Structure 1
Amino acid sequence: MKKILTSFLALGICLTPLTVMLMVQPTWGQAQNSRSQEAERLLEQGRKLTQQQEHQKAIQILQQALTIVRELKDQKREATTLVRLGLNYSRLGQKQKALDFYNQALPIRRAVGDRSGEATTLNNIGRVYDDLGQKQKALDFYNQALPLLRAVGNRSVEATTLNNIGLVYSDLGQKQKALDFYNQALPIRRAVGDRSVEATTLNNIGLVYSDLGQKQKALDFYNQALPIRRAVGDRSGEATTLNN
């Protein structure tokens, strides 16, 4: 009886390490899921740093995220990461680097069928060319974005794009064309309830009328913008409108 008991104890000692090894060994799927969660955490951290205007830190975090999403072959998040990198470089004044990242994101957004994301990326590229003083190139990209935004029903970014086109035409001295686009943007701004940018558009219309020598009309629009800027607490915009 004693011999039999000893045999079972010995067998137990042999089996225990094998059982533990099987319990702690992660599966391929678990490893993938863990990497995916890490990418999402980094993307969220990068987004918050961008909002806090910590652009250099945001870039470092987003580069880590980019490595992971490329490993995972997650094209949708790869495009998102590239656009966020472009945005941070743009805000740092590194416009060519911003373009490089936007131009990497654009074909991916087309490939995955993300029409809204494609339109936003086109709009971002337009903004960079506008900042670089390449107005015609800016217009080309805004005009590519506009029908896509209308097709997907993204009215807020559609209004932004219309406003951006108006700004370009104003800079080119084509004031009536600028007015046409601002007047398309204004009712959309009101419809989506974006009061801060509504005030911006009203202010832009006022500027055009001022440039056209129609001072009373300019005043009418500035006086519409002013109470909105006060209501939303935009003190910088309020000061600009008072100055105008």
Structure 2
Amino acid sequence: MIKIDKNTKGVAMFDRAQWFLAGMSIAFSVHLSHPVTAVPVGKAVQIAQTNSSNAAPKVYEEAEKLEEQRTAEALRGAIVKYKEALKLYRKAGDRNREATTLTRIGVVYDNLEEKQKALEYYNQSLPLSREVGDRKQEAITLTSIGDVYSDLGKNPEALEYYNQALPLSRGVGDHKQEAITLNGIGQLYLDWGEQHKALEYYNQSLSIFQAVGDRRGEAYTLNNIGQVYSALGEKQKMLEYYSQSLPLFRNCSITAAWGI
């Protein structure tokens, strides 16, 4: 660096000022020779939303593929991707997909046994689903909240959410989700020692899973019915249902509980 003494400092400052003004002059000349067409603010926002809307599904799909791996590391990676998709859906103004993504993040946290984090995201999703009138997504989220409360041993709270979800699933004709919710209610009654009540809900669930051809759901429900008969001391019945469940588990290659 050149040291400037007090006698030359003014000259140096002048030179810098001249260079600055010369630079501004050149820049201004270039600007005039290459006029820029202004983009209306509304159009710019629309372009940004379109870009986000186009990018979000790809990122969401990447998150799904990571989630399918079911390892803790992959699930952590899925959360990062889902959160990236969430930002894009918010930027695009897509409230439906925002709600879906929030629930999906909750599911991953649930699978990582981080129940409070799961609830945090479910509770963000729920009012959004209601706001946009997406009854199917609302039912899924309500059931997911019920599942968390069931896992936490808060069965009365779980039943409250399941009972809110059930008529919504039935109303929109989402039979698979209806069966999942019925399964959850059956588990609550089994926990309460009300085996016959549990059987009532499990049998409803089983019929639906069989009707829609969901072999994975059918396998879990047959297994759950086997547990009921085990609790009742009916060992032959228990073996009968476990024996039906086992080949379905093998065929489906189930390694983890079903997601949404």
Instruction: Indicate the TM-score class for this superposition, using the shorter chain for normalisation.
Output: 0.7 to 0.9
- 1:42 match: 59
The verdict on how the C-alpha distance between 1:38 and 1:215 changes in structure 2, with shifts beyond 3 A counting, is: same
Structure 1, 86-95 or 53-62: larger mean CA deviation: 53-62
One-letter code of the match for 1:202?
L
The equivalent of 1:171 in structure 2 is 191
- Displacement of 1:23 in angstroms is 11
> Is residue 78 of structure 1 aligned with residue 98 of structure 2?
yes
SS of the equivalent of 2:233 reads coil
Corresponding residue for 1:30? 47
Instruction: Give the secondary structure class of the aligned counterpart of 1:82.
Output: helix
**What residue in structure 2 maps to residue 52 of structure 1?**
69
Larger Rg, first or second structure (1 or 2): 2
Cα–Cα, structure 1 residues 224 and 57, in superposed 2: closer, same or farther, change >3 Å?
A: closer
1:8 is aligned to: none
* In 1: Cα distance, 2:254 partner to 2:51 partner: 45
Q: Which residue identity does 1:80 align to in structure 2?
A: T
TM-score (norm 1): 0.81
Q: Deviations over 1:174-224 (max 9, x none)?
A: 111111101111111110111222122112112211211122222222233
Q: Summarize deviations over 1:88-128 as a string: whole Å, max 9, x none.
A: 21122111111011001101101101000000000110111
Report the alpha carbon displacement of residue 139 of structure 1 after superposing the two structures with TM.
1.1
- State the partner residue of 1:240: none
For the Cα contact (< 8 Å) 2:96–2:129, is it kept in 1? yes
- Give the alignment partner of residue 212 of structure 1, picking from 232, 249, 258: 232
SS at match of 1:93: coil
Gaps of 5+ in 1: 1-12, 238-244
1:165 Cα deviation from its structure 2 partner: 0.9
1:129 maps to 149
Structure 2 unaligned spans of 5+:
1-29
Alpha-carbon distance change, 84 to 226 in structure 1, aligned in 2, over 3 angstroms: closer
> What are the residue-to-residue correspondences of 1:1-244 with 2, within 5 Å?
17-18=34-35, 21-22=36-37, 27-28=43-44, 29-53=46-70, 54-230=74-250, 232-234=251-253
CA contact (8 A) 2:215 2:252 kept: no
Which stretches of structure 1, 4 residues or longer, exceed 3 Å deviation after superposition? 13-18, 21-27, 226-230, 233-237
Given the superposition, is the C-alpha separation of residues 67 and 236 from structure 1 closer, same or farther in structure 2, using an over 3 Å criterion?
closer
Higher mean C-alpha deviation, range 94-103 or range 66-75: 66-75
Q: What letter is aligned with 1:165?
A: I
Count of paired positions: 222
What TM-score, normalized by structure 2, do the two folds share?
A: 0.77
Q: CA–CA distance in 2 between the matches of 1:85 and 1:143?
A: 23
Q: Retained in 2: the 8 A contact 1:189–1:198?
A: yes
Secondary structure at 1:142's aligned position in 2?
A: helix
Matched residue of 2:193: which SS?
coil
Q: Distance in 1 between matches of 2:110 and 2:198?
A: 25
Letter in 2 for 1:222: Y
Q: What secondary structure, in the 3-state scheme, does the structure 1 residue paired with 2:34 have? A: helix
1:57 CA displacement: 1.5
**C-alpha displacement at 1:227, in angstroms?**
3.7
- Cα distance in 1 for residues equivalent to 2:114 and 2:254: 28
